[in-house]
Amino acid sequence: MSDEEVETLAAEVRESLRMVIDPELGENVVDLGLIYQVLVEHDGTAQIEMTTTTRACPATGYLKDAVQSAAWIVPGIHSVEVRLTYEPLWTPKMMNADARHRLGLVETGRNA
């Protein structure tokens, strides 16, 4: 698999992860900023580093399994490794602007 194919597969995996919805916030894990890294190796192994909104998140197992399943369905992916991390700690500022807006977290004032 070429470097270009690996990069394309990583982008396809990231897009597929948008299907995974955080059950508490109702937004996908990519827009929430819960996916820290998606790498695909030349053998078709996807390595995903992710977090949850809190260490005690009751949906951790569900989210990790759903991320693995969403990556697994991408053609060309032969194996998926999901690693959970809390470095750095997630904050709402990690969400993209669309997710912040949908959740009513739009900043106002000079720092908007």
- The domains of the chain, with CATH numbers, are 3-100 (3.30.300.130)
Per-residue pLDDT reduced to its tens digit, 92-109: 999 999 898 888 887 655
Query: pTM of the full predicted structure?
Result: 0.89
- Stretch 15-35: mean pLDDT: 96
Q: What integer pLDDT is reported at residue 108 of this predicted model?
A: 56
Asked if residue 88 has a cis previous peptide bond (ω within 30° of 0), the answer is yes
How far, in Å, CA of 70 to CA of 63, rounded? 10
